[in-house]
Structure formats: C-alpha cells, structure tokens
Amino acid sequence: MRVGGARRLRERWGSVRPATRWTAAAGAAAVLAGGGVLWGVTADGGPPVRAQAQRVDVVDGPEDDQRVSLDTTFYRPAGSAKVPVVLLGHGFGGSKDDVRQEAEELARAGYGVLAWSARGFGRSTGQIALNSPDYEVKDVRQLIDWVAKRPDVVLDGPGDPRVGMAGESYGGAIALLTAGHDRRVDAIAPQITWHSLPDALFPNGTGAGADTGVFKKLWAGIFFTGGAGDGPAPGGAPGSAAGSAEGSACGRFLPSLCAMYQEIAETGRPTPEAIETLRRSSPSLVADRIKAPALIVQGQADSLFPLDHADANARAIARNGTPVSVVWFQGGHDGGDPETERVRGLVRGWFDQRLRGRAPGSAEAVSAEERAAAFTVTRAGGIDSSTQEVIVESATAGAYPGLAADPRALPLSGREQTVHNPAGGTPASISALPGLGALGSLGSLGGAGALDGQLPIDMPGQSAVFDSAPLDRPLQLTGAASVRVRVTGDGDVPLFAKLYDVAPGGRQGTPARRIAAPFQVPDAGKGREVTVTLPAMDYRFDRGHRLRLVVSTTDMGFATPAKPATYKVAAVSGLSVPTVTSLRAVPAPVPGWVWGLPAAALAVAAGLLVTGRGRGRRGGAAAYDPALAGVPLRIEGLTKAYRNGHLAVDDLSFRVEKGQVLGLLGPNGAGKTTTLRMLMGLIHPDAGEIRIFGHRVTAGAPVLSRLGSFVEGPGFLPHLSGRDNLDLYWRATGRPADEAHMEEALAIADLGPALDRAVRTYSQGMRQRLAIAQAMLGLPDLLVLDEPTNGLDPPQIREMREVLVRYAAAGRTVIVSSHLLSEVEQTCTHAVVMAGGRRVAAGPVAEIVGSGRRLEDAFLEIIGTGDPS
C-alpha cells in the first residue's frame, strides 16, 4: 500500500461490528443496479484488457435489513476463454481506483478481476462497519454470487466460481474473513493486515476487560477521525443509513462504532463490549475455518500491524492442514516500500499455482526460489550507486519457522534501574509514528537511525538500559526476541521495550527497528516478573556489536498515565534471540554487461597471482641478483613507448627500501600508472628492468606473489558480496586459506555490515576500501596502491594514512601513487616525483621539501624546471 499524505495514512486499517449468520435470502438479493457499462482497452503496450464498470446492489446488516449499492469494475483479458477470478480489495480510506493498476496486471496475466469500493468508501453507499461479518463480509459473499453468474468465469460447481482474493490492510482482512465464512474462496493473498483487532489496538494485553494492553492512541485516532471529513456516502440506497452520518465526528462510520471509539479515546481503555466488537471483525475468530491456501505478506516497517499478526494468521491457518506461505518484505504501514513489483509477482505466482493448477508463472522481480518458498524474507542490500535506488535482496526457507526458532541466549549486563513517568506523559519517547517508521524500513542500511541526534528517541531519566557482551560472531535475528524483566511500581505499569544495535565504541546505538513492544505489568507494587516479547524483525548484528534492550516509560504513539510516577526495572534473564539458519539468500539477477568488465579485471588480477606461484619462463639464475635479496624494489632504466609514439616512461630509475612508504608523484600523464603496470607484470617495458627482492619481474614471475596491488580501480563481481569477492580472489591465487589474513584485511576495510551486501550497492568510497583490503590479503611484503584515497572522505583518508604507516612499520614496504600532495607529505617517508615520464626528484620527503617549505611548493618548482635531481 502506498503512502502519500493524510488520506494515504488512513488507507491502511480496518475492522468491526456485531454480526449474525449468513442467510440464503441475503445471498439471493445481489442484483445488478442501473448504470452504464464502459469497455476500454489499456494503452500501455501490454495485452488488451477490458474493463466493465457496474453497480451491484446487495443486502446486509444483522437482520439483512440494509440495501447497499457497491461501485465495482470487472477487468478481464480480451478473448472468449473462461477465466478464474481474483477479488481485489483496497486499503482503508481508498476505493476501487487505488487497485486499478494491479487489477490490469492480473487481467493481462489471464485473470478476471473484480475491484470494488467497500461500503462507505468511494462511490459505494452504506456506512463503514470495519469488515464486520454482518456487513462487509456479507457484501463480498454476494459479489461472489454475482461473479458466479457471469458466463466468462470458470466454475467449480453451480454457483461456485474459481476465485481468489487479495488486498492490502483493510482489503487483506476482508480476504481472510471472507475465506473463513465462505468455502467458495479457493486461494487468498492478504497483505499487511491484522489477526486480532483488540491486540492491534491494545497490544500485549489479555483482551479481557481491564487486563487489556496499552492503547495505540495515535494510529486509532488517525483511523477513526480520518473519515470525519468524508461526509455521508453518496446516493444512499433505500434502506441504507447513509444520510444519518451527517454531523458525525467519525464521518461515514456506523454511529455505534464512532461512539465506541470516542469512549476509548477518552479513557484509554476499552469496555468488554468494545473488545467483543473488535474481536468479531478479526480473522482470529474464523482462522480455524480457513481452508483456502494462503500467501501471508507482511511488512517489516509496520507499527500498526507488526509481523506477529502475520505469524498468528499463518500458524492458525496451517493448523487446518491448509498450505501457507509467508513473506516478510521491507515496507508496511509506516511506508518505505521499494518492493511493489516483487510482491505483486509473488501474488500472481501464488494464484497461478492455486487457481490454475500449474507451476508459478515467471515474473521479472521474483525468482523461482521465492515462488516456491514457504518463507521469504527480503532485505535491504544497500543503495545502487548508479540509480540511488534501494537494492532489495531475499532469503528463503522451505518451511515457515515461526517467531522463536533456534534461539540463542545472550546474557545482559545492567543493575536494577529507576525510571520516571513524567507528568502528563510528556515529553514522550518516539519509536514509530505513522509514516515516520519508514526510517526503519531500510534495515541494515542504517536508515533506522537516520534521525539520531535530530529527533529524540528515548528521553533521559525515562529509560532503563541493558547490554549484551560484544558478539563474537555475526548474529542474524529472525523472529521476536524475548526477555524476562522485573518491574516494581504502584498499580498497573505500562512500559515499552525496544532493541538497539550498538557498534564498537558507540554509546547511543541505533534502533534495530523503530517499533516498540508495549507491555503492561498489573499490580506491580511488590514487584512482578513478566516475559516481554520484543517486536519481530529480520536484522543482522555484526561481530563486535552489542544488543541493547531499552525499556522506556513513554512512547508518543501510545496512551500513558498522566500522573507522574517512578518505577524500578531489572532484567532477570538474558535475551533469547531467534535465528533461522535454514534461510538461504536468493541472488538477484544481474545483466551480463554490468559485471563483465569488472569480472575481466578480477580475472586478470587473480590470474596474475596464480601464475605467480608457478615458474617464470624467463626465470633462472640470470633473473636473480642475490645482492638485492633484501631490497623490495629497484627500477633501472625503465622505458616504455606506446604504438602512437608517446614515450610514457623515459629511463626511469629509483630504489625503495624496507619500511619505507614511498609516494610516486606527478601530474596526469607523468607515467605513474604505466610504471605501476610494468611493476605488476601487466605490460612489458621496452628497456630497463624491475627487480623485486632481487628477482627480475616478468609475466608470471614467482616473486609477484610477494606483491599486493590496487591499480586503475577495483574489479569486483557486483552481484557478490564484499566478503565473497575477497574469498573468490584469494581462492584464485591457489594459496592456502590460512595465509590470507582475512581478518586483518577486513579490519582495514572497516565496512561493517556492508561487507555482506552486494558490491553493486557500494559507494565509490566503499569500493575503494574493499580494493585496499583485497590488496592487503596475504599481508604482502610490497604493497602498491594507485590513488588509494579516491572516494574517501577526510576522516577515512586520515585512517588510511595511519594504516599505511603501521603497515610499513612492521618491516613491509608501501608505494602510493597519488596527486594529494599534502597527504603524501604527511604519510610518506620518501617520494619520487615524475614529469613527462622522467624522474625529476627522488629522496626523503623532508629533503625534497627543504627547510620551511611545503611539498606542494617544491613539487611545482621541480616539475616546472623539469631538471632531474
């Protein structure tokens, strides 16, 4: 469901009103109303789709005493073949127009699609009853009757069309509820919807009167009062109560629902009657009757209907022996959804399987593994540096594991702490607000903390904090972590628990998801222990990071006591963190041209190291000078001219000793890169020679295994992660894995969680750091880097300078080609200045600079004269 403006914020809700049984008389009352029939053809280049606008009259109400006119459109592909049908519901506050694009896509895929505006929305009459079995569910069952009478629809029996149902939020709930009331529904694909409305509005309560959970006041207010300006439904049909909504504070809601909400909003607590009303519009009440195979799609950025609602629906339906598949994607009611095409592809694939009895159809955004999986989790893999769009990857498993699979116990530190509830509950902590939760939808991208330092999350004095020890290995949390706490305070104590990711050296931490788990501790005067289930999520905590449990007294999205109070909170157990080891990553397809060039570059570099372990064809005693065995590099009379006559390197000579950091300086065209390429054996000199530790450099010379290099930009396979690229590179050398010194190289790269993302999502600076780490694999005796600070910001440049100095201090040698004179001056011990392919100066940096001058002044003077030193 798309987010945009207040109306779109209202678009994702739904449910409630008392009901009775479905009667045959009501089923027979669906009739075609007067109205035009419009036939059209889509003009977007796809197969033609015909659309028929039609009003359908239905009867509903507890006594079948109301007549409502529903505004519908039936889409179908051109042709005479009979088709299965998908009923496509819309979100709260929307209408049939909101699902037009998806309806046309399904029609082009060979389905009939019935889109309708629910009672009280769009141009349909009647009043909103929140998907009540007495109202909206009866409406949809009569729409199925109407579909069964069409001659172009596949029937499984008299009056029984082959039908699936899909929709988001309000539309997803009606799919579940209708499947629980009508066995004619053959498959469902509900998205970002609820299991239990009482638990959605009063989460983590028992649902029994006074023991209800904490009131989710902000979402409830947007939901109920958001329809106040809509006015009564247009053209109320005879018998409807449309006109009675005028002047109502809740617009087109049934007056009884409006009164129910207003009482709850004033007290912050529901009556038993309100709980029962909400429960009757909940799939939880009918889930044990659902036999239609279900694809349950839920958003990870959803503070309205979190992942535990999808889990409850999936487990309840699966207990019936009904096939269920579960998808967790990046979006949700809080926004941040970059996956529309992928989700729609999964829905089409599901209906292909269940309504057509064939293997899933292809969809560009969906892999075969995803279509066949019982559990799919999508993860934000970074930002595509070329398009600046979020890259979404997925992992799949053959069975849905629930929210508490394979738990890992993590002890927590922290004594009992005193926290305060401020007078009036203000200022309040901010976890998620409608629309703001999208900041947490990017998962490992760090978007969850995008407002850290700008927008307060937890107020001083109002939160207790408990930390795990630094992780000894990465931890992928998939499910809902839990912890047992002891709370002491007067009366019933509402609190809010959240999980943070704290990086090494960090103090604040970043919310793993901007969603809080409210919980209420009744009668805590003498202290009471409770088990708290934290928000479900899929999140990777990197090695060395800590998990932080934060328990706060306030949250802006919920009702909290107005009276000031003081509580004590202690963690009496460690965190139980669920993992799903069966999840396997599904690589996204990458066009061949995207990675062809980098792959070739990687192959050249890997091939160089592989051949370097062989015997050089021009080796032998003549190629080795034992007098230079301790000299990392000596270049004598090196000359290279290209076919166009350009003399790139002209009689170049210099020598580098152990422990030196040598800067190779010169303007563009000075011959620096050509020199380095000859040093690596990639091109042959026309004259002169290069010796590394006494061995003459030729193509494939064994001594090249002692050299690590990064020249002319990194060459990586962009569809692989940074870690996998390094692993592949090292395996290509043929050297033992324990000689790679991978951990040291990774510490230098300092890419954190990004190391396990696809390289195509990296920024230029991240690629640069990965390339430097690759050059350092094996801790080579001679390290050659061409413009290593390109793409790095000033702090990263300073870190790189320190790394190079430390690397050389261990007795190794570093050569850096750079145009950043000030950085060379601060980093390098020695320098060689080139101009026009020739060496114009060489020696210690201090000598080249001279007393009282900077390297930049000396450099300009030297290349200006062109005189060798």
pLDDT at 426 over 80: yes
- Structural fold of domain 408-436+444-577: Jelly Rolls (2.60.120)
pLDDT at position 586, please?
67
pLDDT at position 859, please?
60
CA torsion angle 147 153 156 158 (round to 10):
60
Q: Which two tokens stand for residue 712?
A: 């002319």
Mean pLDDT of 418-440: 77
Mean pLDDT of 517-545: 92
pLDDT at 118 over 90: yes
Same fold, 5-292 and 592-865: yes
pLDDT tens across 314-323, in order?
Answer: 999 999 999 9
Better pLDDT: 165 or 624: 165
Q: For strand 517-521 and strand 565-571, is the pairing parallel, antiparallel, or unpaired?
A: unpaired
Name the least confident of 94-103, 140-149, 378-387, 506-515: 378-387
pLDDT at position 262, please?
86
pLDDT confidence bin for 768, thresholds 50/70/90: confident
pLDDT at position 238, please?
36
pLDDT at position 623, please?
78
pLDDT at position 85, please?
98
Q: Which two tokens stand for residue 384?
A: 């595509």
CA angle 53, 57, 58 (to 5 degrees): 130
Instruction: Mention every residue, 6+ apart, whose C-beta is less than 8 A from residue 339.
Output: 329, 330, 331, 365, 378, 392
Q: Which two tokens stand for residue 805?
A: 């100095």
Instruction: Mention every residue, 6+ apart, whose C-beta is less than 8 A from residue 421.
Output: 462, 553, 554, 560, 561, 563, 564, 565, 566, 567
- Could you tell me if 118 and 91 are in contact, meaning their C-beta atoms sit under 8 angstroms apart? no
Whether residue 427 is preceded by a cis peptide bond, meaning omega within 30 degrees of 0, is: yes
CA angle 815, 821, 822 (to 5 degrees): 110
- CATH 3.40.50.300 correct for 592-865: yes
CATH C-level class of 5-292: alpha beta
Residue 218, H or E segment: helix 217-225
Q: Which two tokens stand for residue 771?
A: 């390339």
Report the mean per-residue pLDDT for the chain. Answer: 80
Residue 208: is it exposed, middle or buried by C-beta count within 10 angstroms (0-12/13-18/19+)? Answer: exposed
- Could you tell me if 336 and 2 are in contact, meaning their C-beta atoms sit under 8 angstroms apart? no
Residue-wise DSSP of 104-162: HHHHHTT-EEEEEPPTTSTT--S-B-SS-TTTHHHHHHHHHHHHHT-TTB-EEETTEE-
848 HSE (CA, 13 A, CB side): 31
pLDDT confidence bin for 712, thresholds 50/70/90: low
| 3-class DSSP string for 560-610 | CCCCCEEEEEEECCCEEECCCCCCEEECCCCCHHHHHHHHHHHHHHHHHHH
pLDDT tens across 139-156, in order?
Answer: 999 999 999 999 999 999
Q: Domain boundaries in the chain?
A: 5-292, 408-436+444-577, 592-865
With a pLDDT cut of 70, the percent of the chain lying above it is 77
pLDDT tens across 40-73, in order?
Answer: 444 445 568 999 999 999 999 999 999 999 999 9
pLDDT tens across 600-654, in order?
Answer: 344 444 444 443 333 333 344 457 888 899 999 999 999 999 877 789 999 999 9
pLDDT at position 740, please?
86
Q: Which two tokens stand for residue 816?
A: 């850096």
Nearest Cα to 546, choosing from 470, 482, 477, 449?
470
Q: Between the ranges 105-119, 239-253, 693-707, 845-859, where is the mean pLDDT highest?
A: 105-119
- Could you tell me if 396 and 583 are in contact, meaning their C-beta atoms sit under 8 angstroms apart? yes
CA distance 395 to 569: 37
pLDDT at 27 over 70: no
